[in-house]
Amino acid sequence: MNQDIEKLLEKYYEGETTIEEEKELKRFFQQEHVPAHLMSHAAQFGYFIEARNEYPSLTFGGELSALLDPPKQTPVRRFGSWLLRIAAGLALLIVGFLGGRVFQERSGGGEPLIATKESVSQAEIRNVLAFEKMNSTSASERIHAVNQSYDLSDVDKEITQLLINTLNFDPNINVRLAACQALQRFRNEDDVAESLVPSLAIQTDPNIQIMLIEVLVSIKEKRAVEPFQQLVRNQDVMEVVRLKAQQGVSELTAADV
Amino acid sequence: MVVFVFEMDLQAFNQRILPVQGRLFRLAQMFLRNREEAEDAIQDVLLRLWTNRQQLESYHSIEALAVQMTKNLCLDRLKSHHKQKMQNDADVTSVQAAELSPHRQLENSDSASLIHKLIGELPEQHKLVLHLRDVEEYSFEEIEQVTGLNNANIRTVLSRARQKLRENYLKANNYESGY
């Protein structure tokens, strides 16, 4: 046996052994009792076997798959640490607190608040009544927008023009009525009276015709006389409206006298 | 859909690479002589393989490629921090057969770490061939694939490496004569 081993060793150092023979050598030097004169060969074979049993640590596989498959792993891991979570929570709190304070400071003085509220509702009215949006908003939304104009202390041309457009072209009669009522409030604005007169020719609904006549009479709009007379002559117009127009004509001309 | 394909891909990759992982690790540990650095190095190698997975099919042996990459990467790293000589020679954890007596175990683990150190002192080519043959039990064909050396050259390198290792071991232990 030992002679075989000695021969194998010789072959081994010449680089001529097969894998099988090398395995035999490893087995031989793994035994408890290795002959003394061969003992000096034992160390390397012991090392070879030992080194073969080395593996990456258990956590390595996990780390690796996290590295190779990042899309699922990284978003979760990024907020993994407790410290980060606490820091994020604190940051949110501070932002909220500061935001609250800034908001309070801004709304501290009363007037600016109203100004902002008013500009907000003006924008809202514009938004809802805009001509191109008529098909996407509901009638009640538009009435609400028209009624919001009552809150405005001061109106600009744009709003009155919007209301006039609504009065003339809104498909819903109730919205047109509301617009008419709202315009009554702004009758002292220059354009309002002017544009109410041609509107008479456009309107076909008796309710609105009557209301328009009333408004025009109340502002003593002389330019309305001519369209009033046209209404009176028009056989298609309802009897009540023609009567009302007749009254209007006499009232306006009477005031003139 | 994309994720599904991706996962299948990763699974296939793992199936081919996982069995080799231990080998790559041992090789890296042999060169770098440090567990953490070895893990770091093979992580790098596996990541590179993964990134280039489309080209892997064209290689004859992925294992040979991975071994080559590991060797090159380790040598690069050794060059780059040549100054910090590894003090962690005693890093080899001793996994020993249980039936050995405590005395033999101690002796073995001492001599094993000495062998480990002495292998580290061999020329690069020599330690690579010695490691692949005597630790990993590679056939000559497999060593050929990794090193590009022909059969005769491999035997010569192997023989020299074994003899040199023995010589240095005897010197270190003050044995009187050769084998």
pLDDT digit string, tens, across residues A28-68: 998 888 888 888 888 899 899 988 888 888 788 777 777 77
Contacts 24+ apart (CB under 8 A), A203-209: A203/A168, A203/A176, A205/A173, A205/A176, A206/A237, A206/A238, A206/A240, A206/A241, A207/A173, A207/A177, A208/A167, A208/A173, A208/A176, A208/A177, A208/A180, A209/A237, A209/A238, A209/A241, A209/A244, A209/A245
Answer whether A159's CB lies under 8 Å from A149's CB: yes
Nearest C-alpha of chain A: how many angstroms from B113? 8
Q: Mutation test of the interface with chain A: which of B37, B162, B165, B168, choosing the one with the most A Cβ atoms within 10 A? A: B162
Q: Is B176 on the interface with A (CB under 8 A)?
A: no
Angle at A12 between CA A8 and CA A17, to 5 degrees: 80
- Residues B67 and B105 placed together within one structural domain of the fold: no
Residue B121 lies in a domain: yes
Window B:111-140, CB contacts with A under 8 Å: 111-112, 114-116, 119, 131, 133-137, 139
Answer whether B41's CB lies under 8 Å from B85's CB: no
Percentage, residues of chain A above pLDDT 70: 86
Q: Which range, A231-240, B5-14, B15-24, B126-135, has the best average confidence (pLDDT)?
A: B126-135
From chain A, the residues in CB contact with B93 under 8 A are 54
- Residues B50 and B123 placed together within one structural domain of the fold: no
Answer whether A170's CB lies under 8 Å from A133's CB: no
Residue type, position A12, single letter: Y
Tell me if B179 and A50 make a contact (CB, 8 A cut-off).
Answer: no
- Residues B174 and B105 placed together within one structural domain of the fold: yes
Residue type, position B141, single letter: E
CATH of the domain at B139: 1.10.10.10
- Residues B69 and B135 placed together within one structural domain of the fold: no
Rg (CA), chain B: 19
Report, as an integer, the average pLDDT of A204-223. 84
- Residues B106 and B145 placed together within one structural domain of the fold: yes
pTM above 0.95, yes or no: no
- Residues B60 and B15 placed together within one structural domain of the fold: yes
Tell me if B96 and A50 make a contact (CB, 8 A cut-off).
Answer: yes
Residue type, position A118, single letter: E
Answer whether A81's CB lies under 8 Å from B59's CB: no
Q: Which of A196-205, B76-85, B90-99 has the lowest mean pLDDT?
A: B90-99
Q: Helix, strand, coil proportions of chain B in percent (round to 5)?
A: 75, 0, 25
Q: Who wins on pLDDT, A152 or B37?
A: B37
CA dihedral sign of residues B170, B173, B175, B179 = negative
Residue B91 lies in a domain: no
Angle at B115 between CA B112 and CA B120, to 5 degrees: 130
Nearest C-alpha of chain B: how many angstroms from A74? 15
CB nearest A57 (choices: B39, B162, B165)? B39
- Residues B126 and B171 placed together within one structural domain of the fold: yes
pLDDT-derived band at B111, boundaries 50, 70, 90: confident
CATH of the domain at B23: 1.10.1740.10
Residue B88 lies in a domain: no
Can you say whether residue B137 is alpha, beta or left, with left for phi > 0 and alpha for psi between -120 and 50 degrees?
left
Boundary (domain end) residue, out of B24, B49, B82:
B82
CA distance B12 to A126: 62
- Residues B59 and B120 placed together within one structural domain of the fold: no
Report the chain A residue with the minimal C-alpha distance to residue B113: A47
Burial A166-189 (b: 16+ CB within 10 A, else e): bbbebeeeebbbbbbbbbbebeeb
Residue B176 lies in a domain: yes
Rg (CA), chain A: 48
CA distance A100 to A110: 17
Which residues, other chains included, contact B87 with Cβ-Cβ below 8 Å and sequence gap of 6+? Answer: none
**Average confidence score pLDDT of chain A:** 80
Per the structure, how many domains does chain B have?
2
Answer whether B147's CB lies under 8 Å from B125's CB: yes
Q: Is B21 on the interface with A (CB under 8 A)?
A: yes
B55: which 2 tokens?
């080209």
From chain B, the residues in CB contact with A62 under 8 A are none
B131: which 2 tokens?
């490691």
- How does pLDDT run across B112-137, given as a tens digit for each residue? 888 988 998 999 999 999 999 999 99
From chain A, the residues in CB contact with B115 under 8 A are 43-44, 46-47
Q: How far is CA A226 from CA A184, A207, A221, in A?
A: 20, 20, 11
Residue type, position A121, single letter: S
CA distance A166 to A176: 6
Q: Is B74 on the interface with A (CB under 8 A)?
A: no
B158: which 2 tokens?
């192997």
- Residues B26 and B78 placed together within one structural domain of the fold: yes
Q: Who wins on pLDDT, B12 or B6?
A: B12
pLDDT surpassing 90 at residue A18:
yes
Tell me if B43 and A60 make a contact (CB, 8 A cut-off).
Answer: yes
B59: which 2 tokens?
């290689």
- Taking each helix axis as running N to C, give the angle between helix A239-256 and helix A206-218, from 0 to 180 degrees, rounded to the nearest 10: 10
Report, as an integer, the average pLDDT of A11-40. 91
| Predicted local distance difference test score (pLDDT) of residue A20 | 94
| Predicted local distance difference test score (pLDDT) of residue A133 | 67
Tell me if B96 and A14 make a contact (CB, 8 A cut-off).
Answer: no
| Predicted local distance difference test score (pLDDT) of residue B84 | 52
Residue B150 lies in a domain: yes
Tell me if B158 and A55 make a contact (CB, 8 A cut-off).
Answer: no
Residue B95 lies in a domain: no
- Residues B109 and B75 placed together within one structural domain of the fold: no
Boundary (domain end) residue, out of B50, B82, B114:
B82
Residue B94 lies in a domain: no
- Chain A residues with CB under 8 Å of a chain B CB are 9, 12-16, 19, 22-23, 30, 32, 40-44, 46-48, 50-57, 60-61, 63-65, 67-69, 71
Domain that holds residue B158: 101-179
- Residues B76 and B1 placed together within one structural domain of the fold: yes
Instruction: Tell me the ipTM for this assembly.
Output: 0.76
Residue B66 lies in a domain: yes
- Residues B19 and B56 placed together within one structural domain of the fold: yes
Residue type, position A16, single letter: E
From chain A, the residues in CB contact with B96 under 8 A are 50
CA dihedral sign of residues A56, B136, B129, A13 = positive
Boundary (domain end) residue, out of B52, B82, B112:
B82
